[in-house]
Structure formats: structure tokens, C-alpha cells
Structure 1
Amino acid sequence: MTINLTQNKNFKLFKTISSVAEKNEQSVFIVGGFVRDLLMLRKAPTDIDFVTEQSGIDLAKAVAKELDPTLKVSIFKTYGTAMVKFNHLDLEFVGARKESYSENSRNPAVENGSLEDDQKRRDFTINALAISLNKENFGELIDPFNGQEDLQNKILRTPLEPLQTYSDDPLRMMRALRFASTLNFTIEENSLKAIKNEAERIKIVSLERVMVEFNKIMLSEKPSVGLKLMEETGLLNLILPELLALKGIEEKEGQTHKDNFWHTLEVVDNISENTDNLWLRWAALLHDIGKAPTKKFIEGIGWSFHGHEFLGSKMVKNIFYQLKLPLGNDMKFVQKMVKLSSRPIALIDDGTSDSALRRLLFDAGEDLEDLFILNKADITTKNSKKQEKFKKNFEYVAEKIKEVEEKDHVRNFQPPISGEEIMELFNLQPGREIGILKEKVKEAILEGEISNDHFEARNFVIFEGEKLGLILSKN
């Protein structure tokens, strides 16, 4: 079968690479994800992999020189690969190779090989497809493992025996789950069994590489597809056991609680319909993470998860640390969302005070809208009337908060009186009294005792300062 590349936006580039390879007496083929996505009519990726049966580094240098002599060629001698950035594309050139693996490493011993050898070492048949750029058969699809048929049937199958494939490079197990989730493919039965058998091998893969695949699952249209497969294969227990601890339902005195694991997966799917923000999706994944350690049955009352939001927010840091996820603002955002996840629900009441609304505004700040997206995603009842009621309740709270914000301006709150002005008022040096007075101002505003206004705040500080025994400056 021949692929018509003439309509492809990269056709001119492909012809140039073909011509350079011919001059250098080298073969050249497009391989991997670009070919897969081309056949699936998906948006073309910005990285294109080329294989030659000679030197990938030599071909990369020659292509770069032909395209633009000023182009930089990044060379990775260990793997015989080279990268050229051109027109917003990452062009990677590699020499065809055979690979052999040792038991305790996913870094293979490499030797030169043929195109067929290179295709055999690919993770899945759909990624083992190649298109020739050679003059004699330009555009020919080379498909030794029926990858095109697997594409049509939406099947993930390994080119070689799956146990060997996953044992050699255990990261391929996470890639299988990722492709199942992002492409909506089914993992072939023997392949799925092999992942279950080889799950423990994931421990030899760096967590950074594992989390790249995990986050691609989290960013897929329906993350629960990949997360369910992680649970089924045993990978989730090895990577994020805290989440699996939410699984199961207990019954005491005829009272049960919902299965918080399956509920969490629903919440993640719900939120994914409304946001592409990875860390907001992570907040959905971890919003109930504190429920397993706080679960308690109270006689006459039933099941309680008291304080699970507070404990869950503390658990977030440890989870991010263990998984080598970023510990800066992204982690703090997830902590904040988990900690506040139940707050708006408590405000769904006509009797809710403006003070409670001001405190939520103050605590959520610029992330209030994200918090409401999380809250709405947390509605997983199948009862349409209840669902509608909950959504209307949130709209009601949002409207009340909007009214309070317009009146009091406490979102992203900055004290209307500065520490410097307090020091001048009482002729003070920096010290604990300034912090005490600023905190008192904040509390007075949140409680509605004074307005968020400089004049009122200044008079309040003078009154409170004198109660602390401070003497007003005569200046």
C-alpha cells in the first residue's frame, strides 16, 4: 500500500530528506506516532521520527545542512540519535537497531540492525508502522505486524510476545494504559494478562517517566479508562496506593457508605468535561484522599469522615513528593482545592452569614471559580432531580458570594492599612505587635465588624493598639 504524501503539509520536507538520504547512499523511513496519527486522520504531532539503516547522526547533519546551514543538531551518541528543530517541528533521526535487555534495567544494549529489527523493538503494532521516503518506493507503507488492521479495530497489541515486551521495558505497560485512555483502544487479552504478570517490574522505571504517562492519562478525554486499567492490572497499587485505599463499602448496623474510589473516578471524568487544567484534575483525583484514614462509624449517627479535607490536603504534599511531582505552586493549588472542597456545600443555606461567605472568598481568592468547577464535578448522583437541585444550590451560593464581593472586596484581600503605617502610628520597630494588629484588622473585616476601608481600619488599629498598651505617636 502506498500513502499519498503529496497533500501533507510536510511533503516538501519529506522530499528534501529523501533527496539528502539518496545523495548519502542511505535509506530513510518515517516511523512511529506520526505514521499512526496520519492513518488515523488525527492532528499531526510536532515530532517526527526517521529511521535509517545507516547512521542517524550522519543523516541528521546532512539534512540540517540542506535545510539551513545554521540549524543546530543535538546529538545523543549513546543511542545513535540526533535531533533537529525546524519550522516548529522536532525531527529525530536514528539508526535502525536491535536491542537486548538485562533484568534490572530498561536501558538496552544496542547494536545496528535493519528496519525490520527496528520495527520489532517498538511497543505496539500501531507504532511499528513505517513509510518509506526512499526514491524507489516513496510513500510505501511497511507494516510487518498488521498494525493497520489493529488501528482499524482499535486494538493495542505488541509486535512480539507481550511478556517479553513488557519485561524488557516496563514503561510500555503505562504506555499501553495511556494509549487505551487517549485513543479509546482496547488492550489485547494476552497483552493485558502480561501487564498483570509484569506489574511489579514498573519499580525499575524512574517515577518521573511513569508520571509523564500518568499525567497523559489524566489529560485524556475520559481519564477513568486508564485509571480503571491501572486498578485492574495492579499498577495503581504500586504507584498510588492511597487512592486504592478508598475502594470498598463497609456496612455496620445496616448502614453503608459509598465506594469512594469509584466515586472519585466519576468526579475526575466529570471535571475533565469542563477543564484541561491538569492540576485541577489532580485536585479531583485527590479530593477525597483523606477519607480512608478518617473513616469511622459512630453509634446512632453512622459513617463519618470528619476532617478528611484537612488531612487530605496534608497528604497531598507527601503524595507529590513520593511521585516526583512539582512541589511548588501546582502542589499548593491542589492542597488548597482539597482543603476547601467541602466548604461551599456548607454554605447552601438561607441562614449562611456574610461572614462565612467572606471567609470562603478570602481563603479561595483567585481560585474560587476552580473550586466551584470541582464542587459541581463532585455531584455524581444518578437522580436527575437531586442533580438539578445541587447545581441550583451552587448557583445560589455563587450569586450570594458575588453580592458580598461587590460590597466588601475581600477576594485577594490586602489589608487596607500597611505594617509600615501601623509602625508610624505607634512609633514601633518591626515586631510581633504589627502582626497581631494586622490579623485583628483582617478578622474584623471578615466578621463584618468594620468595612474594608482605610479610614475604618486605621481607627480600629488605634483602638486595638491602645488596648495592647501601645502609645499613639504624636508625630
Structure 2
Amino acid sequence: MSRTNYKEALQDPIFNEIREASEALSLESYVIGGFVRDYLLKRGTPKDIDIVTVGSGIQLAKKLAEHLPGKPKISVFKNFGTAMIRHKGLEIEFVGARKESYQRNSRKPIVEDGSLEDDQKRRDFTINALAFSLNGSDFGDLLDPFNGISDLKNKIIKTPLEPGITYSDDPLRMLRAIRFSTQLDFTIDLESLKAITAYRERIKIISKERIVEELHKILGSEKPSRGFALLHKTELLQYILPELVALEGIEEVEGQKHKDNFWHTLEVVDNIAKTTDNIWLRWAALLHDIGKAPTKRYDKKIGWTFHAHEFVGAKMVYKLFKRLHMPLNDKMKFVQKMVAMSSRPVILSEDYVTDSAIRRLVFDAGDHVDDLMTLCEADITTKNPKKQRRYKNNFQLVRQKIIEVEERDHIRNFQPPISGEEIMATFDLKPSREIGILKEAIKEAILEGDIPNDYEAAKKLLLSKGREMGLTVKNS
């Protein structure tokens, strides 16, 4: 059998250091997984390095640390039999070669010491089972028992063992297959795809946090629709994001149809992926239409309607985030705001844009007005070039108007020119309903353009409005 050697991949001095530490302990060691895969795919030099040794990974890490300058700290994870060292921007993880067996109700394996081949068998995909030797006699040799190099060349995701075993043992691998397919633009092997569909219900034993981690990576990829289309095809999506599945389909009544909002959503996500890396804005694109399924109605006079779908969708965002154990903090609120406001710029772009409408948009969106415009521009999925040009031009006009109005009126992160405390002092009031009415009157006058956003004009209006309400100015 011919040997293929990749010494050039192991030029970083760390690999020789690991070789020497291994020899001192009479251990065989190998670099395995993502480092090897990404090197062979020419995807740059990975900063994460996985080392497997036939023996104790923790012992090897400790030995290596003794010889490295500064004796870096070792993070030891005894429960998993692993250790990690950070050194010169690298994260090096060590594990002893092992074989695994699984029980049906858990993805936590029963682990025993094993050979390198045992360890390669337990890997999720052939492309992640590739290893380079770090041993003196064959330093740099590729060890590829499952022909992963061929799968790399043919752009195929395939499991080392029978796919049903691989996915049933650890159902997270189903999501990882789809994630790698999305990130690398690889095709999932047909038998693998069938097995994912067959074992899809097993996803229920995976923690929500691990599922979301994979969803983030799919959403963060260059073309997220690949992943969501595969999640849909394998029927995994109905267990993870049923709100999206509910959007699929086109109904026809009296010859009137609506668009398929599921496939439209995937187009929107791909569009926004071209313009932003903000993962939460990508989430907003994915969820911007989820309120359309529960609000869909047919009206004989006007056809299909999705009345208040943005409001309903924003409420659904909270429930969805809670169910998936996602953060219920400012990130969730940002996605909610984007979903709730997703149609506002569209309405503005269709009508003559008044300064008042722009002021209200900027006031409500605050610092996120640019994100909102990016979302709305991504929402243009018409295949009619003339319409597409018109919509894009209209949004450019709205953007320009936002800049002009903001420069003049400073509405973003609006703070009333007159505080509640000053209103109380002016009319000798205690906290009361009247203060809210006066503050609202000043805010509305500024947003409508009746007065400029400055103190003198606001004070004048306050006194006038106070007199109308029968309030007396203190000491007057």
C-alpha cells in the first residue's frame, strides 16, 4: 500500500514538540479531524488542533507543557479523559484513543481504551477521521482507513460505519452532517440522507443548546438555505423549528394564490447573508414571516391577508427562543424588534415619504434602523428585474431620507428636551397622569414636525399645553 506523506502540513514547531513528548512516554500520537480536513481542503491554517494518542491524552498534555516555554496552563477534563493547552494562538486538545458504545436513551458513550483505528471508527464522518502521524518513523503520513481523501475530492459527507449506527448512536451527528454540507458545499451521501430521515425523531434526546450551536453555524454560513432545505428534506426541521415548516405551501381560492412563505424565507436569509455577519440579524431574517401561518386569511374583496403578522411573529419569537433555551436578553429583544418592524420601511417605500413618517421610523427603530433597512432590502425576492430595481431604488430613497432627517432633527435615541422632573417643577406637580400627557404632547409635536427638537420650542409648547389643561405655572 502506497504511503502519502504531508510533512509540509506539520511545519509548526508544536508538532515536533508533541512528537518528542510522545517518544518520551513511548506513546503513538496523531493529529486528527478538522486540522487535517481543512489543510487538505486548503481552507487556511486551523487554530484548533486535535491530538489523539494511543494511551493517556492527559499524561501527554502534561509532558508537553513541561517542555514548552512559559509552561502553559493545562485545562484537564477528567470526566472526558481530555486535556487542552493554549499556546501561541493555538488550542491543542489531547485525547486517548478509544472505542465507544451507546445506550439508546443517551448520546453519552460508554468509553474504553482503544487503538487509532477504533478511534477513527467512532468519528462522525470519513472526512473527519483522517489523521497525520506524529511518530518518528512515519511523521506526516496520512492514515485514511475509510477513504476519506476520496470523499473530500468528491465533496461527499459519508459516515465511517453504517449510517444508521452512526446517527442513532449520537443524533447530533445528523445536524453536524447538514452543517458540514452547508459550510463546505458538500453533498450528503444518499444512504446517510435516508438514515437521517429514518432516525430524525432521535433528535429529541439532544440538548437544545447543542442544537442551537449547530443552527448558528448553519445560519452563519455563506448560503444558509442549503442547510435549512436539508433540515426540511430530512424532516428534522419539524422537531426544531415547526414555525418555519408551517409556512410551506401555496393555497389557491377563487384563482388567487399567495407565495410560498417558507421558500421565500430561505431566499431572504441567503440575501441577508451576502450583506451582514450579524447572526441575530440573520435570525431576524429567518423568523421575519413566522407570524404569517397563524394570521393567514382569505378575504373575498382583497384576497389573501396576513393581518398583524409582524406583531404576532414578534410574540412568537419569545416563545421560540424560550423553547430552544436561547438568550432571552437584548439579543432576543433585537430579533423581536426587527420582526415587529419588518414591514414598516416597505410601506414607506411604496408611498410618498413624509418627514414625519421617517422621524417615527427612526424613533421606533433607534440604533437599529440600519439593520432594519438591511432586513427589508433582503426581503426583495421578486424575479422581475424591473420590480426589483424599483424596490431597491425606493429603499435607497428611504435610506437617504433617514440620513437627511436624522442630521436635522436628531431623533435616533430620542431624549425629550424637557424631563419629567422639570415638568413637575414647572407646575408644582407630584407624579401623575398629567406629566405623561405633557411628555407625550412634546414628543408627538417633535415627531410630527410641529416644533423643532430643541429646548426653547419644547418649553413654549409645555407652557401652552399646561394652560390648556388648567395647570398653573409655579411662582407665576
Interval containing the TM-score (normalised by the shorter chain): over 0.9
Amino acid at match of 1:102: Q
Check conservation: 1:37, 1:44, Cα contact below 8 A: yes
Offset of residue 6 of structure 1: 4.1
The alpha-carbon deviation at position 462 of structure 1 amounts to 1.9
- SS of 1:104's partner is coil
Checking the alignment, whether the CA contact within 8 Å between 2:7 and 2:141 is kept in structure 1 is no
**Unaligned stretches of 5+ residues in structure 2:** none
Q: Matched residues in 1 for 2:215 and 2:240: separation?
A: 10
Q: Structure 1 residues 450, 82: closer, same or farther in 2, change over 3 A? A: same
TM-score by length of structure 2 reads: 0.97
Q: CA deviation at 1:335?
A: 0.8
Q: How far does the alpha carbon of each residue in 1:62-101 deviate from its partner, in whole angstroms, 9 at most, with x for none?
A: 1111114542111111121111111121110000001010
Pairing 1:8-407 to 2, within 5 Å after superposition: 11-68=12-69, 70-349=71-350, 351-407=352-408
Moved over 6 A (4+): none
Answer whether contact 2:7 2:140 (CA < 8 A) is retained: yes
- RMSD over aligned CA atoms reads 1.4
Shift of 1:443: 1.2
Change (3 A) 1:151 1:314: same
Match of 2:6 among 4, 17, 27: 4
Distance in 2 (CA, whole Å) between partners of 1:469 and 1:57 is 80
Task: Report the CA distance between 1:117 and its aligned residue.
Answer: 0.3
Q: Distance in 2 between matches of 1:4 and 1:127?
A: 16
Quote the Cα distance in structure 1 between the aligned partners of 2:96 and 2:394: 61
Displacement of 1:238 after TM fit?
A: 0.5
Structure 1 distance, partners of 2:298, 2:130, is: 56
- Aligned partner letter, 1:212: E
Cα separation, 2, equivalents of 1:304 and 1:369: 28
In the alignment, structure 1 segments of 5+ residues that lack a partner are none
User: What CA distance in whole angstroms lies between the structure 2 residues aligned with 1:6 and 1:180?
Assistant: 27
Query: CA 1:162–1:63 in 2, change beyond 3 Å: closer, same or farther?
Result: same
Cα deviation, 1:198-239, whole Å, max 9, x if unaligned, reads 000000000100110111000110000000000000110000
Structure 2 counterpart of 1:343, one-letter code: R
- Give aligned-pair identity as a percent: 60
* Equivalent pair of 2:6/2:142 in contact (CA under 8 Å): no
CA distances 1:91-117 after superposition (whole Å, capped 9, x unpaired): 100000010100000000101000000
Structure 2 residue aligned with 1:460: 461
> Structure 1, residues 427-470: CA drift from partner, whole Å, max 9, x if none?
33444433332222111111122111101111212222333343
Equivalent residues of 1:79, 1:110 under 8 A apart: no
Deviates more, 1:350-359 or 1:126-135: 350-359
Task: Check conservation: 2:39, 2:45, Cα contact below 8 A.
Answer: yes
| Distance in 1 (alpha carbons) for counterparts of 2:470 and 2:142 | 86
What is the identity, as a one-letter code, of the residue corresponding to 2:68? L
Q: Secondary structure at the match of 1:54?
A: coil
Contact residue 6 and residue 132 of structure 2 kept, 8 A: no
State the 1:364 CA deviation.
Answer: 1.3
What amino acid does structure 2 have at the position aligned with 1:378?
D
Deviation at 1:419, TM superposition (A): 2.0
Alpha-carbon shift at residue 471 of structure 1 (Å)? 2.4
440-449 vs 385-394, which moves further? 440-449
Query: What displacement does 1:426 show?
Result: 2.0
Opposite residue 420 of structure 2, the aligned amino acid is: G
Amino acid aligned to 2:441:
K
Counterparts of 1:425 and 1:353 in 2: how far apart (Å)? 34
Q: Match of 2:35, as an amino acid? A: F
Shift of 1:7: 6.2
Q: Distance in 2 between matches of 1:199 and 1:257?
A: 30
Q: Distance in 1 between matches of 2:240 and 2:352?
A: 44
Hey, what's the Cα distance between the residues in 1 that align with 2:411 and 2:328? 28
Helix, strand or coil for the counterpart of 2:62? helix
Please give the alpha-carbon distance, in whole angstroms, between the structure 2 residues aligned to 1:158 and 1:188.
Answer: 9
- Distance change >3 Å, CA 349–CA 201, structure 1 → 2: closer
CA contact (8 A) 2:9 2:140 kept: no
**For residue 200 of structure 1, what is the amino acid of its counterpart?**
E
Q: C-alpha distance in 2, partners of 1:47/1:443? A: 55
Which deviations, in whole Å up to 9, do the C-alpha atoms of 1:293-324 show, x marking residues without a partner?
Answer: 11000012100011111111111111111111
Task: Supply the distance in 2 between the matched residues of 1:465 and 1:89 (Cα, whole angstroms).
Answer: 66
Instruction: Report Cα offsets for 1:362-399 as digits up to 9, x if no partner.
Output: 11121111111111111111111111111111112222
Return the alpha-carbon distance in structure 2 between the equivalents of residues 228 and 174 of structure 1.
12
Contact 1:37 1:43 in 2 (8 A): yes
Letter paired with 1:369? D
Residues 255 and 302 in structure 1, CA contact (< 8 A), matched pair in contact too? yes
Q: Which residue of 2 aligns with 1:419?
A: 420
Q: Identify if the C-alpha distance between structure 1 residues 386 and 438 changes in structure 2 by more than 3 Å, giving closer, same or farther.
A: same
Q: CA deviation at 1:406?
A: 2.4
2: distance between equivalents of 1:457 and 1:78?
Answer: 65
> Following TM superposition, by how much is the alpha carbon of 1:402 offset from its aligned partner in structure 2, in angstroms?
2.4
SS state at 1:106 partner: coil
Task: Tell me, yes or no, if structure 1 residue 409 matches structure 2 residue 417.
Answer: no
Q: CA–CA distance in 2 between the matches of 1:192 and 1:322? A: 27
- Helix, strand or coil for the counterpart of 2:349? coil
For 1:431 and 1:83, the matched residues in 2 are separated by 60
**Preserved contact between residue 415 and residue 442 of structure 1 (Cα < 8 Å):** yes
d(CA) in 2 for partners of 1:185, 1:211 = 21
**In structure 1, what is the Cα distance between the partners aligned to 2:438 and 2:293?**
40
Cα distance in 1 between the residues matched to 2:27 and 2:335: 51
Check 1:11–1:407 CA distance in 2 against 1; reply closer, same or farther (3 A cut): closer
CA pair 16-421 structure 1, distance change in 2 beyond 3 A: same
Output the TM-score relative to the length of structure 1.
Answer: 0.97
